[in-house]
Amino acid sequence: MARSTLDKDLKKVVRIEAATQSMSRSLAVPGLLAVFLLATVAVASLSITEGPLNAFVILAAVVAAYMALNIGANDVANNMGPAVGSRALTLAGALVIATICEAAGAILAGGDVTTTLARDIVQPDAMSKLSFILVMITTLLAAAMWVHLATILGAPVSTTHAVVGAVVGAGAAAAGVSAVSWSVVGVITASWVMSPVLGGLMAAMLLGFVKAAVLFRTDRVAAARRWVPVLFGLMIGIFAMYMAHKGLARVWSVPAGLMLPIGAVFFVLGTAVAWFWVDKRARTMENRRKHVASLFKLPLIMAAALLSFAHGANDVANAVGPLAAIVHAAQSDVVSTGALHLPFWVLAIGAVGLSLGLALFGPRLIRTVGEKITKMDPIRAWCVALSAATTVLIASALGLPVSSTHIAVGAVFGVGFLREYLTNKGVPNPAVQPRSLFLEPSRLNRTPEQALANFQKRERRRLVRRQHVFGIAAAWIVTVPASGSLAALIYLVLSSAAG
DSSP 300-356: HHHHHHHHHHHHHHHHHHHHHHHHHHHHHHHTSSS---SEE---HHHHHHHHHHHHH
Cβ-contact 408, 386 below 8 angstroms: no
**For residues 357 and 316, is the Cβ–Cβ distance under 8 A?**
no
The residue among 371, 479, 490, 412 whose CA lies nearest residue 151 is 479
H or E element that contains 114: strand 113-114
d(CA 259, CA 241): 6
For residue 278, the model assigns a pLDDT of 92
* Residue 495 phi, psi (nearest 5): -65, -35
CA-to-CA dists, residue 205 to 91, 130, 386, angstroms: 28, 51, 11
Residue 180, CB half-sphere, CA atoms under 13 Å: how many? 18
Backbone angles phi, psi at 215, to 5 degrees: -70, -30
Is the Cα dihedral 303, 309, 313, 319 positive or negative?
Answer: positive
* Number of neighbours of residue 186 by Cβ within 10 angstroms: 9
Distance CA 464, CA 482 (A): 27
Residue 304 CA: distances (Å) to CA of 183, 237, 286, 384: 35, 15, 27, 10
Contact 251, 185 (CB under 8 A): no
Supply the pLDDT for residue 444.
47
Specify the pLDDT at position 68. Answer: 93
Q: Consecutive 10-residue runs of the chain (499 residues): their mean pLDDT?
A: 58 58 61 91 88 88 94 85 88 88 79 54 72 90 94 87 89 83 78 84 94 91 93 91 71 76 94 92 87 91 87 79 84 63 84 88 84 87 91 75 82 90 69 44 54 54 76 87 94 83
Euclidean distance between CA atoms 305 and 125, whole angstroms: 41
Least Cα distance to 67 among 313, 318, 311 occurs for 318
Question: CA 497 to CA 147: how far, in whole Å?
Answer: 25
From residue 248, give the alpha-carbon distance in Å to each of 108, 232, 240, 243: 8, 22, 10, 6
Q: Say what the pLDDT of residue 383 is.
A: 93
DSSP label at residue 178: G
Computed over its alpha carbons, how large is the radius of gyration of the chain?
26
In angstroms, rounded to a whole number, what is the distance separating the alpha carbons of residues 151 and 169?
21
Cα 350 from Cα 13, distance rounded (Å): 43
- Looking at residue 367, its amino acid is R
